[in-house]
Structure 1
Amino acid sequence: MGRRDYENDPDAPKANSLVPAASTVVRDDEGRVLLQRRVDNGMWALPGGRMEIGESLPGCAIRETREETGYEVELIGIVGTYTDPGHVFAYDDGEVRQEFSICFLARPVGGQLAVSDESTEVRWAALAEISGLPMVASIRRRVTDALSGPMPVLT
């Protein structure tokens, strides 16, 4: 299913759903960031997705990261909350979702790189190369927010 992101676009369709979601900025001991190239829009993104009934938001972040990248992670902080009503995702099936996401900071604790049915590529990206990768503005903002502070000590 295809997806198009709109940010503060007066021609954007009106939202018809609001879904809690979580994403993660996973950094390894070299400071690289774990990214995936999405199937639905071809852009680089953080692992993440919608929360399921019976699940906590931190649990959602951990599950989505495992499903989309192959890595088990430990959450070590919160990057921020992203709930801009001017940011909507329009899907091919007619759903137009208002953004509602909490982004966590995480570190890998196991697993290995694995592509899922939601991605065409998964990789660790060095900070110097991230600015040159195609990303939607909201994902780039999360990465920038996560990298703006000191890197936590990974113990």
Structure 2
Amino acid sequence: MQRIANLIVLKDQQVLLLKKPRRNWYVAPGGKMEAGESIYSAAIREFQEETNTVPVKPHLKGVYTMIVQDEQQIENEWMLFTFVSHDLEGIPFEVTKEGILEWHPVEALAHLPMAEGDRTNLQFAVSGQGVQYGTFVYTHDFDLIKQDIQASYEGEKQ
């Protein structure tokens, strides 16, 4: 199973997003983890590679299982670890081999074109408390079939 780490920066009520050329969908900068790499290190490394900046004090906000299925057959499955940072050091690239980096008002997460699972996890990353967990099941064309979401909060009584 592939492991992906991404990281969204929320600064001055703006979020830094990467517009991918294939679908013109927005994502948080990130990518595949390397063998033996921690999710934290992967999120920082991928963010640096894709933005030319360094996130300041990132922390984990979500752990997700992403599934693409055809009928009832699973075609692809991966784990996604989403981090948030409230600042960055450096000046981001404008265009990279991965796409176009753009700052958007945090409210734009509600309507920018993106996978619905990404919308859910990125909105939580920038405004939710605690850590969110979930499973998102998509068709081959990335239409959301179903989702299952939970969250945990530090200090919550069990």
Q: TM-score, normalised by structure 2?
A: 0.69
CA drift of 1:50 comes to 0.6
Q: Which amino acid aligns with 1:40?
A: R
After superposition, give the CA deviation of every residue in 1:66-88 in whole Å (9 maximum; x if it has no partner).
1112221134321110114xx23
Query: Residue 42 of structure 1: CA displacement?
Result: 1.8
Q: Is there any run of 5+ residues in structure 2 with no aligned partner, and where?
A: 70-74, 130-158
Counterpart position of 2:96: 116
Unpaired runs of 5+ residues, structure 1, are: 1-17, 90-95, 151-155
Matched, 1:27 2:10: yes
> Displacement of 1:108 after TM fit?
3.2
| 1:50 correspondence with 2:61 | no
Aligned amino acid, residue 68 of structure 2: V
Distance 1:105 1:111 in 2: 17
Aligned partners of 1:75 and 1:104 also within 8 Å = no
Structure 1 residues 146 and 88, CA gap change in structure 2 (3 angstroms): same
**TM-fit CA distance, 1:140:** 0.4
**2:90 equivalent to 1:107:** no
> Which residue is equivalent to 1:59?
41
The structure, 1 or 2, with the larger RCO (C-alpha pairs under 8 Å, 6+ apart) is 1
Aligned-partner residue type, residue 7 of structure 2 = T
CA shift, 1:51, in A, is: 0.2
Kindly indicate whether residue 113 of structure 2 is the aligned counterpart of residue 134 of structure 1.
yes
SS at match of 1:81: strand
Aligned partner of 1:81 in structure 2 is 63
Aligned equivalents of 1:49, 1:65: Cα separation in 2: 8
TM-score, normalised relative to structure 1: 0.70
Kept in 1: contact 2:10–2:126 (CA 8 A): no
Structure 2 Cα separation of the partners of residues 75 and 98 of structure 1: 29
Matched residues, number: 124
Aligned to 1:6: none
104-113 or 137-146: bigger deviation: 104-113
The answer (yes or no) to whether the contact 2:56–2:89 under 8 Å persists in 1 is: no
Look up the match of 1:125: 104
- Deviations along 1:26-56, one digit per CA (max 9) or x if unpaired, are 111x121110101333201111111012422
Q: Normalized per residue, which structure has more strand?
A: 2
